[in-house]
Amino acid sequence: MRAKRIPLKISVAVLGALIVATAAGCSSGGGAGGPVWTAGSSTAPGTPAASGASTATPSGGSTASGNPSAGSTATPGPTASSWKTYSDTAKTVSFDLPSDWIAQSATPDAGSMPGALKIVVKDAKGGYLATLATGLPTASPADCSPAAKRPYVVVNSVPIDLPHADGDSTIPPHVVFRVIQGYKFFGSYGITNIVAGSDGQACQLRNLVMGPAGKGNYYFGDMPSVHPFATDEVVAPAKSFDTLDQAAKYVDQSSEFANVQRMLLSLKINL
């Protein structure tokens, strides 16, 4: 069943002010320090109220500090009228997708655990949308120096009930759409239970769920992680936006995201 969403609007000027303030003054550590601002607030901590600003509609109880939180969301674009369910032969995973989308089994990545799965989802025209991969080995994130960190924003976040590990660096799993600031705003959707950076800055945003002990990790999204791409890097399948307002409109108005979010939220995994 789709999560209910109610209208929620925030000021792009406020988000921009927070990004500037975060980049200039936040701690580079992974603790709870630094400003925390909840979408829907009229101002960010330490910033004046915006006046006459255009509005965007990031949703899902998102926080500009970067980590997903449960909450209300904005009105989405329309979803497909007809849906089907994909399940592997062992009934390990299942998810819903529009009837004209394609789910194809692929060879699991090297180093995956026995019984690992990899399913690639494409639209009706064969355009890539997402990958579900299970049985992934534990991998440490790449080194991230304070100077390499960039501000990021959780544009959309909805909780989902999935098997996961608990720890100091984890949260309950959420379906998210997040953007990180480089020469543009680079966005990615997926499922995660990993804290990206409580100071509102990160080197990368990982669409990864740490699974229960001995069961391996898994991800379901357009890519395993997104980072501030260099101008000579291939950005796709990540999304790129000139402004946060464009990112918010993609989330709140596009049928593609509405369908993708419904698909991600329907995921069921038996580990």
* 65 within 8 A of 199, measured Cβ to Cβ: yes
Q: Please, what is the Cα angle at 97 between 2 and 161, to 5 degrees?
A: 45
Average pLDDT score, the chain: 78
226-271 pLDDT, tens digit each: 999 999 999 999 999 999 999 999 999 999 999 999 999 999 999 8
Helical pair 12-25 and 244-253, crossing angle rounded to 10 deg: 130
Lowest mean pLDDT among 146-155, 174-183, 193-202: 193-202
The stretch 118-125 carries a mean pLDDT of 97
DSSP string, 203-232: S-EE--BPPSTTS-EEEEES-SEE----TT
pLDDT at 41 exceeding the cut of 80:
no
Residue with tokens 């925030």: 10
Report the SS3 class of residue 130: strand
CB 74 within 8 A of CB 252: yes
Radius of gyration in angstroms for the set of CA atoms belonging to the chain, rounded to a whole number = 18
Confidence of residue 198 (pLDDT cuts 50, 70, 90): low
Angle at 163 between CA 251 and CA 80, to 5 degrees: 35
The Cα-based distances of 138 to 47, 71, 106 in angstroms read 40, 30, 21
91 pLDDT higher than 60: yes
Is it the case that residue 29 has pLDDT exceeding 70?
no
- Span of 14-23, 28-37, 254-263 with lowest mean pLDDT: 28-37
Contact 85, 94 (CB under 8 A): yes
Q: Which residues pair with 152 in a beta bridge?
A: 180
Q: What is the pLDDT of residue 157?
A: 96
pLDDT for the residue numbered 125: 96
pLDDT at 224 exceeding the cut of 90: yes
C-alpha 262/C-alpha 248 separation (Å) is 17
Q: Which two tokens stand for residue 199?
A: 């100071």
What percent of the chain clears pLDDT 90, i.e. is strictly above it?
Answer: 61
The answer on pLDDT for 28 being more than 90 is no
**Ramachandran area for residue 113 (φ above 0: left; ψ -120 to 50: alpha; else beta):** beta
Is residue 137 scored above 70 in pLDDT?
yes
Q: Is 60 left (phi over 0), alpha (psi -120 to 50) or beta?
A: left
pLDDT recorded at residue 25:
35
Give the confidence band of 158 by pLDDT, cuts at 50, 70, 90: very high
- Alpha carbon distance 149, 143 (integer Å): 11
Residue 68 has a pLDDT of 57
pLDDT at 12 over 60: no
- For residue 199, what pLDDT is reported? 82
Task: Give 139's pLDDT tier (boundaries 50, 70, 90).
Answer: confident
Counting residues of the chain whose pLDDT is more than 70, the rounded percentage is: 71
- Whether the CB-CB separation of 237 and 256 falls below 8 Å is answered with no
